[in-house]
Amino acid sequence: MRTGDRWLAFGLKPMVFGLCLAPFLWLVWDTFADGLGPNPVEAITHRTGDWTLRLLLLTLAVTPVRRLTGWQLPMRFRRMLGLFAFFYAVLHFLTWIWLDQEFQWTAALADVVKRPYITLGFGALLMLVPLAVTSTRGWMLRLGGNWKRLHRLVYVIATAGVVHYLWLVKADYRDPVLYGIALGVLLAARLLRPKPFTQKPAAMRSVQARGAAS
Ligand code: HEM
């Protein structure tokens, strides 16, 4: 990454952080300002679920964007996006276990076993934990090649998130289908592996130009 880009990333980090935190602050505001409608628990569950999925998909979009365009800058924010996805997933789970299930662990566990969409959501949350824990540079170095293999789980998690959403809607399938299409495109970009964008070093370019001129 060029020095200019490094400074840009440094300057943009607080902005990206603020943008990722904004839905949470908005939720807190609406909670206290009575802005959550007639069923506040449902509204919180939906908003936190939506943001978990959006941030998961954004995290997944970073590598294909770099591969297709050579743009390195978003790579600097990938970890933050992933950790915010985890943050909203934990909030989503807390809303359910606290406000919906009132910490009745036995009943909650029965729900996890009985309702397939909850089983999937719960599985996705459990899979996110090792990814969040090992997202640091230290773990990246410690795990070596296994780090990449482990972090491919994010595709399974996002798929589980989309199916979880598809499973729980009763009538209007438009939103989960749109998320599914976005995930399909990202998966295809991953599987088809477009040729990485490479910038030829200036020295090589001038040698080639001289060769063409002679
Ligand atoms: C990565 C993990 C997860 C993702 C991506 C996710 C995503 C979502 C999404 C997108 C929605 C629908 C939002 C809307 O209608 O606008 C939703 C709803 C819901 N999720 Fe999750 N979820 C996850 C984990 C969980 C977990 C761990 C639980 C509980 C154990 C859970 C329980 C629920 C419930 C109860 C609803 C609302 C169902 C309804 O309205 O009938 N989810 N989730």
Q: Which comes out higher in pLDDT, residue 210 or 1?
A: 1
**Confidence at residue 114, expressed as pLDDT on a 0 to 100 scale:** 96
Res. 191 pLDDT band, cuts 50 70 90 = confident
How far apart (Å, rounded) are the C-alpha atoms in residues 148 and 156? 14
Q: Which residue puts its alpha carbon closest to atom 31 of ligand 1?
A: 121
**Ligand 1: does its nearest atom lie under 6 Å from the Cβ of 96?**
yes
Residue from 165, 173, 179, 183 whose mutation best tests the ligand 1 pocket (most atoms within 8 A of CB): 165
Res. 5 pLDDT band, cuts 50 70 90 = confident
**Confidence at residue 63, expressed as pLDDT on a 0 to 100 scale:** 93
Contact (Cβ atoms closer than 8 angstroms) between residue 156 and residue 127: yes
Question: Has residue 207 got a pLDDT over 80?
Answer: no
Q: Write down the domain spans for the chain.
A: 3-196
How far apart (Å, rounded) are the C-alpha atoms in residues 130 and 124? 11
Neighbours of 50 (CB within 10 A): 16
Q: Specify the range with the lowest mean pLDDT, choosing from 32-36, 46-50, 91-95, 199-203.
A: 199-203
**Confidence at residue 11, expressed as pLDDT on a 0 to 100 scale:** 86
Q: How far is the CA of 45 from the centre of ligand 1 (A)?
A: 7
Ligand 1 closest atom vs CA 175: 16
**Confidence at residue 195, expressed as pLDDT on a 0 to 100 scale:** 58
Question: Has residue 44 got a pLDDT over 60?
Answer: yes
**Confidence at residue 6, expressed as pLDDT on a 0 to 100 scale:** 78
Contact (Cβ atoms closer than 8 angstroms) between residue 79 and residue 135: yes
Spatial neighbors of 83 by CB under 8 A, at least 6 apart, are 132, 135
How far apart (Å, rounded) are the C-alpha atoms in residues 204 and 23? 47
- Closest among 68, 71, 69 to 194, alpha carbons compared: 68
Residues 120-174 pLDDT 10s: 999 999 999 999 999 999 999 999 999 999 999 999 999 999 999 999 998 999 9
Residues 66-121 pLDDT 10s: 988 988 899 999 999 999 999 999 999 999 999 999 999 999 999 999 999 999 99
Contact (Cβ atoms closer than 8 angstroms) between residue 95 and residue 44: yes
Give alpha helix (H) positions in 115-173.
Answer: 116-133, 137-143, 145-151, 153-168
Q: Which comes out higher in pLDDT, residue 9 or 147?
A: 147
